[in-house]
Amino acid sequence: MPANIEQPEFTRLVTGERRVGPTLASVSRSWQNDKECFLMVSPHDDDVALGAGLFIQLACRDKIPVHILIVTDGSMGYCDPNERDNIAEIRQAETLECYQKLGVPRDNITFLGFPSGVINDFLGRFPAPSYSKLNIKGYTGLQNAFTWHLRRIRPTQCFLPTNNDFHPAHRLVYDEFLISLFHASGRIWPELGQPLPKISWLCEMAVYCDFASAPTLRIQTPPDMLEAKLAAIAAFRSQKQIVALVNNIRSGGPLEFFRAIEYKFYNPKRYYDLFEPKM
């Protein structure tokens, strides 16, 4: 582990270049100053606190708006039979406490409310009954909700847990969110808002499993920010099963890693030479 430091430090690796600086802006080439806005997509309420609790504190310190989208309602996540009927409400209160401790304002924390355990029933987009609390502009589904909130929040950068994960909800949310980024920047479904000017930058974080390939950004903070992250995660008192994850974070030290996702669009020219006779 690197030695303790007094001030937070960002280290970014970009095709052989190593950039080090005190802020994310200082290691970014496409930084948009006061236009910057971050969206954290959390399949379950605690995911982005576990994966990015230091990063969120630093973004709030630097006055960058941070929005949190909690995808599932947590209704299957009870560890105590006495909490079985009202676990969703208990977890909502814990979620608000956790992210506000990290510096995120209440109004920037949104609960999408998809039912835990069956989000595969909500892939894509389809008409919703008017009484459904999951109805947005007459439709429901993950792609409907993600497109609506992307066009509402208009983030410059998005962050979510890697799809290299054994939790099916993490993989499904990842797939649905990536295609929604394309929907949100196109002209499809005009009732969901004005298209984004471009596809937002996207980074993944690790929660349960390693990254599929090496991360590209490291954040290191003084130890007190790790204590603040752990204190925020401790708000999830009902989630007794996260002890192992919390122990892993504590022993890992005041560090977080992220991996930038590169959109590689099909370009036939890439394959021209492959089929030519070797000279």
Nearer to Zn ion, 28 or 162 (CB): 162
Among the candidate windows 15-23, 45-53, 124-132, 190-198, which touches Zn ion by CB under 5 A?
45-53
Among the candidate windows 41-49, 102-110, 230-238, 253-261, which touches Zn ion by CB under 5 A?
41-49
Among the candidate windows 43-51, 109-117, 148-156, 217-225, which touches Zn ion by CB under 5 A?
43-51
Measured from the CB of residue 242, what is the shortest distance to Zn ion in angstroms?
A: 9
The reply to whether 44 sits near Zn ion by the rule CB under 5 A is yes
Nearer to Zn ion, 43 or 141 (CB): 43
Question: Quick one: the chain helix, strand, coil %, rounded to 5?
Answer: 40, 20, 40
DSSP 173-225: HHHHHHHHHHHHHSSSSGGG-PPPSSPPEEEEE-SSS--SS--SEEEE--HHH
Long-range contacts of 247-252 (CB under 8 A, 24+ apart): 249/50, 249/53, 250/226, 252/1
Among the candidate windows 15-23, 44-52, 148-156, 211-219, which touches Zn ion by CB under 5 A?
44-52
Tell me which residue of 4, 136, 152, 155 sits closest to 66, measured CA to CA. Answer: 155
Q: Which of 47, 73, 165, 176 binds Zn ion (CB under 5 A)?
A: 47
Measured from the CB of residue 161, what is the shortest distance to Zn ion in angstroms?
A: 7
Nearer to Zn ion, 47 or 73 (CB): 47
Instruction: Determine the size of the site formed for Zn ion (CB under 5 A).
Output: 3
Tell me which residue of 140, 103, 110, 118 sits closest to 41, measured CA to CA. Answer: 110
Contact residues for Zn ion (CB under 5 A)? 43-44, 47
